[in-house]
Each structure stands twice: as C-alpha cells, then as structure tokens.
C-alpha cells in the first residue's frame, strides 16, 4: 500500500484509533475476499498492514500500543460482543504467527514483534466469563447456526482452547466454560 490514506492502520495510529481498527469499525475495516462475514478481516489486516508496518518501521512502541488498543476495545467499545470476538481473533492469529516464527525464523514472520499478551488474556478471560449469556445469544459471524449451537460462545471457546493448547499462547479459557 503506497498511499497512506489507503492504509487504515496508519490512519488509525495517527487518529489514536487503533482500538477501532482492532474491532473493524467502518473506515478502519480491512476488506478481504472471504466467504463469511467478520467484524475485521484479521488475517489480511495483520499480514498486509500490521506486519508490513512493523517490518518497515520496527517501531518499538507499537507492540504496547497494539496490546493497549485490544484492552481499550474490551473495556470501552459499545458493542461488547464485537470487541470480545475481534480481540479473540487477533490473539489467535498473533499466536499462530508466533508459532510460524519459531518454526521458520527466516520466514515471513521471522522478525515479528514480541507482545506481552498476559494482561490481555486476564482481561479477556474476565470479559468472557462476565458476558457468557450474551455471547451464547449472539449469532453473528462465527456464531451463526451453521457453525455453532451456542452463538459466539462456542467458537470463542474453540479459539481459547486452540490458543492455549495448540499455539502455546496465554490461557484465557473461562472458569465457567
């Protein structure tokens, strides 16, 4: 992306709106060719924008800003379930990229930034526990009936278990699972 106005990550950073980029709020939404609707196209947003930004700048403050934006989204975004679902996807994809970095240090993710996800995991686990009933009743995105019998809760539990067990990431599996 050569034009900065087309790079919604750069605009979000300039506007102090990284949390809106995290949740894919209109204007900060990354278009992608997918078969299913998502609040943010995390894979493309990460690979095309976040990774590109990091590779070009090596901005030492970025990892903290990125983690802080996830926490802010969880804490303040008006659509709580959207924030929970989007942050889950970001954590899952980031952990996947870290596994790729470990397995192929010279590959695409070889120079990926290290981000402390422990604080996000604690806040995230709390939000999952506190919002279980609402998440079960939310049938948007991966919570649609073709994919889940318990709305967003079921796919969120699959992600939580996958991050912990498959990607060796932080444990945010709720106690009320």
Question: For 92-145, what is each residue's pLDDT tens digit?
Answer: 999 999 999 999 999 999 999 999 999 999 999 999 999 999 999 999 999 999
Q: What is the pLDDT of residues 11-40, one digit of tens each?
A: 999 999 999 999 999 999 998 777 778 999
- Say what the pLDDT of residue 4 is: 53
Which residue ranges make up each domain of the chain? 4-166
Assigned token pair, 64: 């903290």
Whether the CB-CB separation of 111 and 55 falls below 8 Å is answered with yes
Give me the architecture of the 4-166 domain, per CATH.
Alpha Horseshoe (1.25)
The angle subtended at Cα 104 by Cα 142 and Cα 42, nearest 5°, is 25
End-to-end, the C-alpha distance of the chain in Å comes to: 42
């Amino acid at each position: 992306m050569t034009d900065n106005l087309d790079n919604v990550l750069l605009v979000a950073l300039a506007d102090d709106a990284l949390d809106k980029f995290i949740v894919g709020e209109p204007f900060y939404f990354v278009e992608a060719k997918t078969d299913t609707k998502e609040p943010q196209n995390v894979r493309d947003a990460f690979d095309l924008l976040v990774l590109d930004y990091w590779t070009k700048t090596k901005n030492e403050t970025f990892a903290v800003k990125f983690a802080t934006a996830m926490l802010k989204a969880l804490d303040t975004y008006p659509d709580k379930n959207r924030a929970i679902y989007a942050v889950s996807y970001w954590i899952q994809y980031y952990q996947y990229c870290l596994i790729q970095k470990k397995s192929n240090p010279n590959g695409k993710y070889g120079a990926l930034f290290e981000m402390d996800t422990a604080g996000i995991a604690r806040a995230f686990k709390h939000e999952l526990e506190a919002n279980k009933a609402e998440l079960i009743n939310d049938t948007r995105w991966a919570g649609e009936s073709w994919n889940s019998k318990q709305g967003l809760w079921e796919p969120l539990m699959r992600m939580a278990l996958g991050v912990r067990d498959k990607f060796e990431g932080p444990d945010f599996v709720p106690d009320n699972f």
